[in-house]
Chain A
Amino acid sequence: MSEVVAIKPHEKYYGVYVVELEDGSMRLATKNLVPGHRVYGERLFRYENVEYREWNMYRSKLAGALANGLSEQPIRESDSILYLGVATGTTASHISDIIGLKGRIYGVEFAPRVMREFVALADVRKNLYPILADARKPQLYRHVVELVDGVYADIAQPEQASVVADNADYFLKHNGYLLLAIKARSIDVTKEPSEVYRREIETLKNRGFEIVDVVHLEPYDKDHAMVYARFKR
């Protein structure tokens, strides 16, 4: 494997780093919160005594969205985030790197099999708060979640926009951000969204979200897009 030449903070995205490798290629990375620990077999880089973890665009939709030029990376240090559909915590681990130990991610996941791995991860990363529950029923976990700065959602469900809005009603601050990974069927997201897809965005608008940006995740994920929106209470 080729050696690291330099690691610099990303010019546009907060908390994201760009790794320049000897062979001239560039990788996205985040500062490893738990040095020495890998989460999903990603590469670790050491540079000037700091350890970074490669952020794989093919494994994490957020990385894919950033690589495709999302207008902003809204997550800041010490933010609290509600993460719907956290699965084994691949993307969550990078968000966990960005928010640091003063931040919190409430990771909601319904499938016990993947939750098990997330619980093990949360044991090591103290800013992950696992919640084994159905994201469609936010009332069942409202007792343990605070008012959050942002919602990240990756739930492959037909009614995902309304599920997200239900959660936002309970938990999202005024002007809080939403990052929604959405399954799109359109070719050009911004101009001609397909019926299914437009309906989802319409739902978001009706429920108090202002859409900031939408990007396609090609070639990292087929037929997926990332919606970035702000919530107005």
Chain B
Amino acid sequence: MAAVYFTQNVLGAFLLDEEGKRLAESLAPFKTNEIIDYLIDLEEGKVTQQAREVLEKAKSMGFNEVVVETIEDGKIASSLGLTPRVDVRASVISRFRERLQDLAVELGLCSSKDEFYTKLHEISLELSRRKLRKEAQKRDLLAIQAIRAIDDIDKTINLYVSRLREWYSIHFPELDELVKDHHDYARIVYELGDRENISYEKLKRLGFSEELSTKISEASRKSIGADLSDFDIEYIKTLAGIILDLYELRETLEGYIDAVMKEVSPNVTAIVGSKLGARLLSLAGSLENLAKLPASTIQVLGAEKALFRALRTGGKPPKHGVIFQYPAIHKSPRWQRGKIARALAAKLAIAAKIDFYTGRFVGDKLVKELQERIEEVKKLYAKPPAKKPEEVKPSKKGREKRR
């Protein structure tokens, strides 16, 4: 009797004849989150449902011996009552491996080869992250410290920039009004220093618009500020340099938080992004704490002051805490925000629990469900609710304030 070959890969389990034709197959779930569980099972040498199906079929077709590539696959075959023969260089299987991407399209799992590779890239990233997470101990605390450092840096930048503006205004007071952006302001001071040195060309080279460059260079010629010596300006430039360094540090920290959060808490990150995710962890104290919070608490994290005031006075509780930063909340009209916040907090509660206890990736599903709910809210509550005349609302303004 001719030999049959058994192999498993990212697409599923397959039974092949000597020509490499597929005799039987059972496909893996080709969705990022489910396939990762499947791949981890394969790696751990577990008998998957797919392998079982295919090998049962081999038996029912009358085969007793199967050729496999690895001892691991051999064990699976023998546990299901077949006699395995291990051939590491089985050319039938390697030729089959060569056609993996075409096969994915043929089986209708992807619409094109490119899509297959994009998916495979996603899968390999997620799989590595999942394995890294097992190694990651207390890395949530690192993300928390980093996000707090960013907040500190923001405060410091503000403090330094207001000092810089006052200091440099002795020399060139008009610039304060013209350049509102702190980063741009610090760059002009640091790169050009003395206002004599400021010209249209140099500003253009720093990337400012024609209009602004014209305005600034004109103002520098007519400035009413005091003339300063290089000796005096050097120290102002040093301060500006430190501010620019702080901006750079802030940016690298954001990148760092992004990397850590995707690893520590991929689902929360998928829903609200790494920065807001890290803020939530920071407010909860750790991923473990966040995972143990109910959705209602997550909803008002960061609005503790408003919440306790409401509880004390019996007024209206806040609708959202730090999750207000989620674009779909703060960009929506007022009367929709509470509903969206509730939906978001519920999804976050699920995400945090999965992140902490299993680490599976279900982010895309959660995001999809959340989007659907937001659409629904927007449709059902497109108009502001009619005001009820009997309800008297005392000083509503002060109570609604949060953060």
Contact = CB atoms under 8 A, between A and B. Distances in A.
A233 B91 contact: yes
Contact of B125 (A116, A130, A139, A143): A130
Contacts, number: 86
B263 A126 contact: no
A122 B129 CA distance: 11
Give the 3 A-B residue pairs with the shortest CB-CB distance, closest first.
A147-B98, A139-B70, A129-B124
Contacts of A39: none
Interface in B53-90: 69-72, 88-89
Given A119-B263, A140-B43, A129 B121 contact: yes
A104 interface: yes
B8 interface: yes
B259 interface: yes
Nearest to B139: A116
A128 B117 CA distance: 11
Interface in A148-173: 166, 169-171, 173
Given A139-B71, A142-B9, A126 B121 contact: yes
A141 B125 CA distance: 14
A111 B8 CA distance: 26
Interface string A98-123: 00000010100000100110011011
Interface string A29-64: 000000000000000000000000000000000000
26 contacts: A115-B128, A116-B132, A119-B128, A119-B129, A120-B255, A122-B125, A123-B259, A126-B118, A126-B121, A129-B121, A129-B124, A130-B124, A130-B125, A130-B128, A131-B124, A139-B69, A143-B10, A143-B43, A144-B10, A144-B120, A144-B127, A146-B98, A147-B97, A170-B94, A173-B98, A233-B89
Given A120-B259, A129-B124, A130-B124, A143 B69 contact: no
A112 B263 contact: no
A132 interface: yes
Contact of B39 (A123, A127, A143): A143
Contacts of B128: 115, 119, 122, 130-132
Interface residues of B, number: 35
Nearest to B39: A143
A123 B100 contact: no
Nearest to B93: A170
Given A120-B259, A123-B262, A173-B98, A144 B124 contact: yes
What is the predominant secondary structure among interface residues of chain B facing chain A?
A: helix
Contacts of B344: none
B69 A170 contact: yes
Interface string B132-164: 100100000000000000000000000000000
B374 interface: no
Given A119-B129, A143-B9, A169 B39 contact: no
B88 A170 contact: yes
B11 to A, nearest CB: 9
Interface string A60-91: 00000000000000000000000000000000
A90 B275 CA distance: 28
B47 to A, nearest CB: 14
A51 to B, nearest CB: 17
Contacts of A147: 94, 97-98, 100
A55 to B, nearest CB: 24
A147 B124 CA distance: 16
A233 B262 CA distance: 41
Given A112-B131, A132-B132, A144-B10, 20 more contacts: A112-B135, A115-B132, A116-B259, A119-B129, A122-B124, A127-B121, A129-B121, A129-B124, A129-B125, A131-B127, A131-B128, A139-B72, A142-B9, A144-B9, A144-B39, A144-B124, A147-B98, A169-B88, A170-B97, A233-B91
A146 B124 contact: no
A169 B89 CA distance: 6
Contacts of A171: 97
Contacts of B259: 116, 119-120, 123
Nearest to A146: B100
A225 to B, nearest CB: 27
B349 interface: no
Nearest to A129: B124
B101 interface: yes
B272 interface: no
Which of A112, A120, A128, A143 lies at the interface centre, i.e. has the most chain B CB atoms within 10 A of its CB? A143
A174 B127 CA distance: 29
B42 interface: yes
B69 A129 contact: no
Contacts of B345: none
